[in-house]
Amino acid sequence: MFKGLTFLAAFSVLAIVAGILIVIFKESVPALKRFGILKFLSGTEWNYSNEVYGALRPLTGTVISTGIALLAAVPLSLGTAVFLTEVCPHRLRAEFGAAIELLAAIPSIIYGMWGLFVLAPFLDAWVQPAVGAALGRVPLAGGFFVTRSAGGVNLFSASMVLAVMIIPFITSIARDAFEQVPDVLKESSYALGATRWETVRKVVSAESASAVGGGVIIAMGRALGETMAVAYVIGNRHASLDSLFTPYTTITSVIANEFNEAGGIQLSSLFTLALVLFLANFMALGIGRMLVKRKAKWKGWGRGVWGMRSPWPFAPRAPWLGSDSCCWSFTTCSATGLSRSAGTCSRAIRRHPAWRVGAWGALSWARRFSR
């Protein structure tokens, strides 16, 4: 009975997803038959009177807004995660973490209203003129950064709203990944003379790179499917994109604005846009899940006791030390940093040249190879 109920619950979820996909595909068949998949994806015209619809402009707006959002959100999110795990005092970590996670609980329509009445005017008054003055004269690409419409309702504002919305997702996954790094690895890095920045960059980042990358892709899927916040601030304009600071459109904003009044081939075209977005989100989330679950591969020059590579490049393999030269894996060793067992550690110490010159020699040897 219990097994049957759990199977039914799991199967119902898959059935719902499959049913959604079947309905979307069925409704998009008329547009696919009339335009063809390649012509529809490459078409730039969205003409109601002639009933000619192409997805290139909404698709371009979706890709560009998501890309800019990731460029803005990833550095800020990773910096926040590093602060929470490596720098922030323990008594304040829970408060800071709760404040960041609260951003994920804010409804998207609230983000849209905040973007329209607060963020867009601020960007229009301060950020867009500065970007235009700095990059407006760049050959070939300078016109892409010139403000061509006032008010701040444009593609760039939509991208910034998306960036704020995906920050808690990337930060949470990155923080969990950083916390999974064994303390013994970081302590051994410090024992070899590395600074906190070197430890974060060469040990923590190397150990958690796969999970962080998966979190970024999951956040990208979140940004691809956002609707209301984008519809508030992007401007919803079907025209050629000549600047980041002009109104434009995305797949979600087109569907949200036109679905209620659409019919015939226009409605089928909207379902085709939904199908494209569904498949793109499905692929992004699938890749993200695979990266999060995949065990990170060790990279570096040194090789540990089980043949794994050291996650930092200042633990080189020395031929005269044998296979235990970089026994960094589990427990602290005074001469080499880490070892899996006391016996392995003692063997490595006896073969280590620093055993003969003392602690200062060990530190000097580590710093020499860290350059």
Whole-angstrom distance, CA of residue 41 vs CA of residue 59: 8
- Contact, 93 vs 106, CB < 8 A? no
Alpha-carbon separation of residue 183 from 23, 177, 331 (angstroms): 50, 13, 10
Using H for helix, E for strand and C for coil, what is the string for 240-291? CCCCCCCCECCHHHHHHHHCCCCCCHHHHHHHHHHHHHHHHHHHHHHHHHHH
331 DSSP β-pair partners: 339
Q: Where are the domains of the chain?
A: 56-263+273-293, 319-370
What is the separation of C-alpha 254 from the centre of its chain, rounded to a whole number of angstroms?
Answer: 25
Q: How many residues does the chain have?
A: 371
Residue from 276, 232, 231, 233 nearest 254 by CA: 231
DSSP helix/strand/coil, 308: coil
**Eight-state DSSP code of residue 9:** H
Structure tokens at 111: 């983000």
- Contact, 236 vs 246, CB < 8 A? no
Dihedral sign of CA atoms 40, 158, 210, 172 in order: negative
Question: For residue 365, what pLDDT is reported?
Answer: 41
Question: For residue 352, what pLDDT is reported?
Answer: 40
Whole-angstrom distance, CA of residue 93 vs CA of residue 86: 10
Whole-angstrom distance, CA of residue 367 vs CA of residue 191: 11
Q: Which CATH architecture has domain 56-263+273-293?
A: Orthogonal Bundle (1.10)
Question: For residue 320, what pLDDT is reported?
Answer: 34
**DSSP codes, 207-229:** HHHHHHHHHHHHHHHHHHT--HH
Question: For residue 312, what pLDDT is reported?
Answer: 40
Residue type, position 25, single letter: F
Whole-angstrom distance, CA of residue 202 vs CA of residue 299: 10
Provide the residue-wise pLDDT of the chain in tens; the chain has 371 residues. 899 999 999 999 999 999 999 999 999 999 999 999 999 999 999 999 999 999 999 999 999 999 999 999 999 999 999 999 999 998 899 899 889 888 989 999 999 999 999 999 999 999 999 999 999 888 888 889 988 888 899 999 999 999 999 999 999 999 999 999 998 989 999 998 899 999 999 999 988 988 898 889 989 999 999 999 999 999 999 998 989 999 999 999 999 999 999 999 999 999 999 999 999 998 888 888 787 776 444 443 333 333 334 444 444 333 333 333 343 333 334 333 433 333 344 334 334 443 333 444 444 444 444 44
Structure tokens at 50: 């002639």
- Contact, 158 vs 230, CB < 8 A? yes
Whole-angstrom distance, CA of residue 40 vs CA of residue 71: 29
Question: For residue 149, what pLDDT is reported?
Answer: 81
